[in-house]
Amino acid sequence: MATPLLTKNQTLVMDALSHSEGPMSAYTILDKLRDHGFRAPLQVYRALDKLLEYGLVHRLESLNAFVACTCPHDHEHDHGVTAFTICEGCGQVTEFHDAAIEQRLSALTRAQNFKTEKTTIEIRGHCQSCA
Amino acid sequence: MATPLLTKNQTLVMDALSHSEGPMSAYTILDKLRDHGFRAPLQVYRALDKLLEYGLVHRLESLNAFVACTCPHDHEHDHGVTAFTICEGCGQVTEFHDAAIEQRLSALTRAQNFKTEKTTIEIRGHCQSCA
DNA sequence: GCAATTGATGTAATAACATTACATAACCAC
DNA sequence: GTGGTTATGTAATGTTATTACATCAATTGC
């Protein structure tokens, strides 16, 4: 699916995430966008739902927070499994993809006849600077 | 570290999780234990913190819920990376471990000089019965 | 014995994250 | 412009997790 044009609210949320140093919670985004007319959490969550669907944003389950996708290319095709390192010190999040892990997980789930819909891989720890 | 004897509250929470079919939220556990004198969320969270520390329980980040560890052996040594398949249909959670994935993740994090403290791998989808 | 420390517990309040319900407005097809 | 769909606005509520403070019990050191 080609990414459709973003609506006003989706654009505001996307911009907030893109310009952020690190991940943001939905409520942090809400606060950033109050000046732009945001009043309620639902405005943020609705925009995030779409951005997640389009693959422009990722949700970090272990943080209850969101980051802009850092993939350089377009988002018209699925990139398969996305993994993250998350630094507890500085909050830096690094997104990466690895075919070997993807294949291995695929083999393991196939072995239990499990049909994968979404894979979460999040590695908490400390980055080089914060170690 | 050898697992110390569990306190009364820890035992109650552990038993609740062990006897549960699937994962439970902290508040679900609280409700189950009201008859045993539990009154407040903190009683559950404190017990869970210790059980997580001892490796007897795992937290499922994508569900905000907890499961008893299904490893058959004792918990005196670390089992490395734990991964889960989580069925959206029946709620069944299957824990598994894989050295290949662990090694691959280790290589990838080492390459960015990232010091791993905790790794989360959760695969959402549908099990054989619910596919 | 008994202060001092430590760990476990009890209780209340609040903070943080997310959804449901319902109403209104904008857009597009016909 | 009527009807259907999507986006939006607002309020209320539901769910998950933590902070603050008090009490109690076991252990240690003297």
Nearest CA to CA, how far is A90 from chain B (Å)? 12
pLDDT band at A2 (very low <50, low <70, confident <90, very high): low
Report, at the CATH architecture level, how domain B8-125 is classified.
Answer: Orthogonal Bundle (1.10)
Q: Stretch B114-128: mean pLDDT, rounded?
A: 97
List, for residues A4-34, the tens digit of each pLDDT value: 789 999 999 999 999 999 999 999 999 999 9
List, for residues A41-73, the tens digit of each pLDDT value: 999 999 999 999 999 999 999 999 999 999 876
Q: Stretch B5-14: mean pLDDT, rounded?
A: 94
Strand order in the sheet with B115-126: A93-96, A83-87, A115-126, B115-126, B83-87, B93-96
pLDDT value of residue B72: 73
Q: Please give the biggest Cα pair distance in chain A.
A: 52
Of the candidates A84, A88, A79, A80, the one whose C-alpha atom is nearest the C-alpha of residue A96 is A84
List, for residues A88-128, the tens digit of each pLDDT value: 999 999 999 999 999 999 999 999 999 999 999 999 999 99
Q: Which chain B residues in 41-80 lie under 8 Å from chain A, judged by CB atoms? A: 61-62
Q: CA-to-CA distance for B63 and A3, rounded, in angstroms?
A: 28
Give the other-Cβ count within 10 Å of A81's Cβ. 21
pLDDT value of residue B117: 95
Q: Is the CB of B1 under 7 A from strand C?
A: no
List, for residues B61-79, the tens digit of each pLDDT value: 999 999 999 987 665 556 7
The residue to which tokens 């009683």 are assigned: B43
- Please say whether the beta carbons of A41 and A85 come within 8 A: no
pLDDT value of residue A105: 98
Å between CA of A34 and C1' of D17:
25
Q: Where are the domains of chain B?
A: 8-125
CA distance from start to end of chain B? 41
Compute φ and ψ for B65, nearest 5 degrees: -145, 175
